[in-house]
Amino acid sequence: MSKSNQCRFPVLSDQELRVLRSHLGSRRISRGLHHRVEMIVDGACGIPALESAQRLGCCSKTVRRWRNRFASGLPDLHAFELGPDYEGVSDKALWDRMVEMLTDRPRSGKPVEIGPEAVQQIVALACQKPSDFGHPINNWTHDLLAQVAIERGIVAHLSGRYVGELLKRQPLRPHKNEYWLFPKIACWESFCLQVEFICELIGLVLRTDSGSPPPDFHLISVDEKTGIQALSRLEGRAPKSRKAKKRQEFEYQRNGTTTLMAALDVSQDKIIHHRIHPTRTEADFVIFIQQTVEQLGTEKDIVFLADQLNTHLSEGLVRYVAQQQEDTQELGKKGASGILKSMATRKEYLQNPEHRIRFVYTPKHCSWLNPIENWFSKLQRHVIKNANFSSVEELTQKMEQYITYYNQWLKKKIKWKFKGFSKNKPLANIKWDKT
């Protein structure tokens, strides 16, 4: 390292050098920008251009050019670093200015031949189906869009790559699909009211105001996770991935399935009861609810938050709630008369606000309103996914251990931010005993 070479490059300030070095290991900048930052840092450290070029795999002329360009802008950069009132600037603002100095200058090239009208016609073309133009495929490709645009006389010459650039600016992705389900809601007004009511109910048990009394009921979120498979991979070891990802064997063996019923106390984010069983029949759910009620005791009312699955609106569940209420009225006959006649009549009875044990049902397409679904997704990620189970018994043991571990170490207060759809009606007007 020669002293003369070290003096050729101007001295950087401590902040400038620190900001440049902080982005050397960043993956958020392009490879070209990363190399240019290294050239400048090497120059500030006195490393010759030839040595820096050999390490970066480029020409020494390129290193000198970028160093000279950066050095020519240093006086303005130093003035910018001081700020208008000599109070300095943030690291982000300084980095943005240095990125401008290390960015390629605009280059002259062939002028764009496609005008705004042609671009809009190509975009409109991408919003239609290829079959409308006699092509027996479902999705556009960039090359096919260019071909059809030329055939229809929109442009004289066009490449598929340039079509991709045009669509990226819109942005449009006609070559990709995603699933969409339009909710079949009979009455949107009642649907919105029910969503608001459930959000208010969850908000009541999560409220932390010192002046607010605690709720006089338990809010328990319940549901089933069905068809949990005990899978074992045919080969436990796998070669290391070139992309530094963990690999697992594609082929597997099925060793049986089971079902998990879980009850989450919303106020504590704690699994207070669960039942692992091969089936999830009406009788299974009644037994699960009965065991949960027995565990909670009789000091407070119990409100179960559930979806509208048929086993959650069953005859057995109605009879159990009626027994707990000591309700001696005639319940009728399933499919014929009385409270047991249909799912609608059973639902009305089960969500009666005068009962000590009552249910609140989420609307259709609203599984996200049930907090237990979030817990099921955690179970899937933490235990079931990418795991090997030689038997259902081993799978059951792992889930039992996870529930204990979650209740002890992973539970935390739920942050419920959604308030419903109404913007005009305050949530205070939504009473908890709404029918």
pLDDT in tens, 136-194: 998 899 999 999 999 999 998 899 989 988 998 888 888 788 888 877 888 988 999 99
Has residue 37 got a pLDDT over 50?
yes
Residue of 237, 207, 193, 236 lying closest to 390 (CA atoms): 236
Cα-based angle 68, 72, 76 (whole degrees, multiple of 5): 150
Last residue of a domain, one of 101, 133, 159: 101
The CATH number of residue 225's host domain is 3.30.420
Could you give the C-alpha distances from 227 to 162, 251, 312, 347, 398, in angstroms and in order?
47, 19, 18, 26, 16
Q: Which residue has the higher pLDDT, 240 or 305?
A: 305
- Residue 219's identity, in one-letter code, is L
- Measure CA of the first residue to CA of the last residue in the chain; give whole Å: 83
Q: Which pLDDT does position 246 carry in this prediction?
A: 76
Query: For position 264, what pLDDT does the model report?
Result: 98
pLDDT digits (tens, 9 = 90+) for 58-71: 999 999 999 999 99
Give me the pLDDT at residue 109, please: 72
Within-domain flag for 325: no
pLDDT at residue 358, rounded to an integer: 97
Q: Is the pLDDT of residue 199 over 80?
A: yes
- For residues 289 and 369, membership in a common domain is answered with yes
Question: Mean pLDDT, to the nearest integer, of 264-277?
Answer: 96
How many structural domains compose the chain?
3
Token match 């990226």: residue? Answer: 168
The verdict on 296 and 389 lying in the same domain is yes
Q: What is the predicted pLDDT for the residue at 242? A: 65
Confirm whether 327 is domain-assigned.
no
Indicate whether 76 and 125 sit together in one domain.
Answer: no
Predicted confidence at residue 431, as pLDDT, reads 39
Average pLDDT of 256-275? 97
Given strand 301-306, what is the order of strands in its sheet?
270-277, 252-265, 217-233, 301-306, 357-361
Between CA 11 and CA 74 the distance in angstroms is 9
The predicted structure's pLDDT at residue 2: 41
**17 in the same domain as 124:** no
349 found inside a domain? no
Q: Are 139 and 203 members of one domain?
A: no
Q: Which residue is listed with tokens 């908000």?
A: 203
| Residues 126 and 210 both lie in one domain | no
User: Which H or E run includes 261?
Assistant: strand 252-265
How deeply is 51 buried, as exposed, middle or buried, from its count of CB atoms within 10 A (0-12, 13-18, 19+)? middle
The Cα 169–Cα 70 span in angstroms is 31
Same domain membership, residue 120 and residue 89: no
Size of the chain, expressed as the number of residues it contains: 435
- Whether 192 is in a domain gets the answer no
pLDDT greater at residue 316 or residue 87: 316
Q: How many other CB atoms are found less than 10 A from the CB of residue 68? A: 13
For residue 382, pLDDT beyond 80: yes
Considering the domain architecture, whether residues 221 and 271 belong to the same structural domain is answered as: yes
Q: In whole numbers, what is the pLDDT of the chain averaged over residues? A: 88
Is the pLDDT reported for residue 1 higher than 50?
no
- Are residues 255 and 391 in contact, defined by beta-carbon separation less than 8 angstroms? yes
pLDDT-derived band at 30, boundaries 50, 70, 90: confident
Band of residue 236 on the pLDDT scale cut at 50, 70, 90: low
Same-domain status, 96 and 208: no
pLDDT digits (tens, 9 = 90+) for 326-337: 999 999 999 999
Same domain, 139 and 28: no
| Res 113 pLDDT > 90 | no
Going by C-alpha positions, the residue among 259, 260, 257 that lies closest to residue 230 is: 257
Report residue 279 as tokens: 């089936």
Residue 342 belongs to a domain: no
For the chain, give me the number of helices (H) and strands (E)?
16, 5
Strands 301-306, 252-265: pairing kind? unpaired
| Domain membership flag for residue 397 | yes
End position of a domain, from candidates 101, 127, 143: 101
Check whether 27 has a pLDDT greater than 90. no
The CA distance from 273 to 295, in Å, is 8
* Mean pLDDT, residues 38-49: 92
Domain boundary among 51, 75, 101: 101
Residue 404 lies in a domain: yes
Nearest residue to 402 via CA among 410, 414, 390, 393? 410
- Note the pLDDT of residue 3: 42
Query: Same structural domain for residues 132 and 59?
Result: no
pLDDT at 350 over 80: yes
- Per-residue pLDDT band at 408 (split at 50, 70, 90): very high
Q: Classify burial at 223, counting beta carbons within 10 Å of its beta carbon; exposed 0-12, middle 13-18, buried 19 or more.
A: buried
> Residue 158 corresponds to which tokens in the numbers above?
């066009």
> Which string of b and e fits 109-124 if b means at least 16 CB within 10 Å?
eeeeebeeeebebbbe
Residue 348 located in a structural domain = no
In this prediction, residue 7 has a pLDDT band, given cuts at 50, 70 and 90, of very low
What is the mean pLDDT of the segment spanning 129-134?
A: 92
Question: Is the per-residue pLDDT at 125 higher than 80?
Answer: yes
Instruction: State the average pLDDT over residues 20-34.
Output: 87
Range of the domain at 82: 3-101
249 and 276, same domain (yes or no): yes
